[in-house]
Amino acid sequence: MNRNPHVAVVGATGAVGVEMVRTLEKRKFPVATLTLLASARSAGKTLKFRGHDLPVKELTQDSFQGIDIALFSAGGNISKQYAPIAAATGCVVVDNSSAFRQDDSVPLVIPEINAEDVRGHNGIIANPNCTTAITLMALYPLHQAFCVKRIFASSYQAVSGTGAKAIEELKRQVGEIVAGRPATKEVYPHQIAFNVLPHVDSFLPGGYTKEEMKMENEGRKIMHHPNFRASVTCVRVPVYRSHSVAVSAEFEKPVDVAAAREVLKKAPGLDVVDEPEKTRYPMPLFTSGKYHCEVGRLRKDCAMDNGLAFWVSGDQLLKGAALNAVQIAEELLQLTR
């Protein structure tokens, strides 16, 4: 691969696509040429990159000639249709959808955890689910030290995880309620302002949602831990940006708070913010726009043997999506050196 690659962003005008473009620039990724691709509806729009206005082009089957790396964030159906076409041209696809995450031939990668898996790609590499990524940033270092058996977790997921229309819905509903008018809803089945919805993604026959099962299924693959178990409740909350997760984890080995804190302090991409007596703990307000995730509220879990409870927060548009994708692209460049 060219050390100064031709990069494409597919779904460039979406919330994650815009962050991918910003992240490529902020991290000084050595892009020789950047091609922005989106639907016909978005073609002709422009995005700034390195001080220049770049036009958005319509995504077609012929879009990938000469492209070295394509960062996809345009939904699973687009990925299923176009990622194999891109890979067939010799381009490496980093896909942010769920389309290929459980495909045994596709690596599922968080670079701080399993960067080596990038080497096994066949033209497509998958980005994990945002809630899974943020949780594993704290859980995996603890797993390395104490061997995790299972977790019980509840997520607190920002509306931007649903997209720009959900952000507008929350803003609109707050204004309507403050003005004494009924809240109108289009995106979510219930009012999201001043409410929480225990419903993220579609329900499966067993009663869990697809989002909830991703933690167990993707966690097993990323950590190379086939016996990992996760019982999760995913909740949408009236926060604009950054997901948070409350985790109770049970380990094979005895764990204490001091030892866990030392492990987490050394973990890449993670900051320990854990001074509850000074009201310092991770919050979406402070993790939004930040590359690192934050972990805190560390305490011995009083309901499980060898248990530890913690709270982790991170920007789901960055570590949960755009940043992780660019980090994977950085790993791809390392393979050429």
Q: What is the pLDDT of residues 274-291, one digit of tens each?
A: 999 999 999 999 999 999
Helix/strand/coil for 71: strand
pLDDT in tens, 239-271: 999 999 999 999 999 999 999 999 999 999 999
Catalytic residue among 6, 91, 121, 130: 130
Confidence of residue 126 (pLDDT cuts 50, 70, 90): very high
Catalytic residue among 91, 243, 292, 293: 243
The average confidence (pLDDT) of the chain is: 97
pLDDT in tens, 278-333: 999 999 999 999 999 999 999 999 999 999 999 999 999 999 999 999 999 999 99
Distance of CA 124 to the CA centre of its chain: 17
Q: Is 293 a catalytic residue?
A: no
Amino acid identity, residue 336?
A: T
pLDDT in tens, 178-217: 999 999 999 999 999 999 999 999 999 999 999 999 999 9
178 Cβ contact list (under 8 Å, min separation 6): none
**Structure confidence at residue 5 (pLDDT):** 97
Distance from C-alpha of 63 to C-alpha of 241, rounded to nearest angstrom: 32
Dihedral pair phi/psi, residue 121, rounded to 5°: -75, 155
Distance from C-alpha of 142 to C-alpha of 267, rounded to nearest angstrom: 9
3-state helix vs strand vs coil in the chain, percent to 5: 35, 25, 40
251 with 142: CB under 8 angstroms?
A: yes
Domains and CATH numbers, the chain: 6-128+321-335 (3.40.50.720), 132-316 (3.30.360.10)
Q: Which H helix or E strand runs over 27?
A: none
Q: Is 130 a catalytic residue?
A: yes
